[in-house]
Amino acid sequence: MASEKAFYAIMTAIVVIAGVGIGAAYYESVSSVSTTAPAAAQTSLTLIITPNNWFHNSSINHRQPAYFILEPNGTLGSAANIYLPGNQLISLTIINYDSGISSALGNATGNTSIPVQNNSFFAKVFGTVGNREYIYNGTSMAENATLSGNSSNNISINKGQGWAISSLPWVGNSTTGGYYVTHTFSIISGGKVIVNVPTWAGNNPNGGTVTHAQFYLNQTSGSILSWQCYAPCGTGAAGWGGAMATVGWMMGNIHVM
């Protein structure tokens, strides 16, 4: 079954990470990692989110979150340019070491210059097979499916296959709190978001969940799409500066091959 294959692929990725010493990558510049294009696009993509990468420019000088590609040899590669095949099933795994919830998600038009507070659009899973994603190795809250709003958010629990969700719920009251979204991996084509995979790091202050989803890209070979995180996690007004506005950190390109 596809879910079983996905599960074993995720477990393999976790074993690889254990040997990589991923913490060392937290303090390196994203631009220093591999950016070599593959000979052929990969149908399996594993991304790593680390929270403590050193970001430096004329106005910012502190740690920021970033996406990395987990390369086949166990190293971390830049996520500035991601190469994926068109019209093939793509298996995406996101290993998230960040934590926290988001009280401000980007707006549904994809216009990051006008952030919208408490927008549920990017808390939803869409563009994936079944409009579902699967979260693994979460906290007891996820394992026991005790999050509030389970019925309305179509949350189900099936141990061994991951925590199947179609959207991540809000926690807190109507004016304070946030969605159980730490970051999103969102793919944009022609100004429209066509795939959205929100990630959650549980209530572990050190983060730590694995999210898996599958999707297709129906664009022709040679097309260039973009990807963006829509959970403001950078600097400046509403958190849309720094990593959020820098290629290879919380945004980048997807090349269809």
Q: What's residue 135's pLDDT?
A: 86
In this structure, which long-range contacts are made by residues 140-147, counting pairs with CB atoms below 8 Å and at least 24 apart in sequence? 141/202, 141/203, 142/202, 142/209, 147/171, 147/180
Domain ranges of the chain: 2-256
- Work out the mean pLDDT of the chain and round it to a whole number: 75
Among the listed residues 192, 194, 215, 202, the one whose alpha carbon sits nearest the alpha carbon of residue 171? 202
Q: What's residue 31's pLDDT?
A: 43
* Residue position matching structure tokens 């913490």: 23
Q: pLDDT digit string (tens) for 151-181?
A: 444 555 445 567 788 998 887 766 677 888 9
pLDDT band for position 257 (cuts 50, 70, 90):
very high
pLDDT band for position 38 (cuts 50, 70, 90):
low
Q: Is pLDDT of 64 > 80? A: yes
pLDDT band for position 102 (cuts 50, 70, 90):
confident
Among the listed residues 75, 62, 85, 77, the one whose alpha carbon sits nearest the alpha carbon of residue 30? 77
Specify the higher pLDDT residue, 40 or 132: 132
pTM of the model: 0.76
Q: pLDDT digit string (tens) for 206-252?
A: 667 889 999 999 999 999 999 999 998 888 777 888 899 999 999 99
Specify the higher pLDDT residue, 38 or 163: 163
No. of helices (H) and no. of strands (E), the chain? 2, 17
Q: What's residue 241's pLDDT?
A: 86
Q: Which residues contact 40 (CB under 8 A, 6 or more apart)?
A: 85, 257
* Residue position matching structure tokens 């740690």: 63
| Measured distance CA(168)–CA(147) in Å, rounded | 9
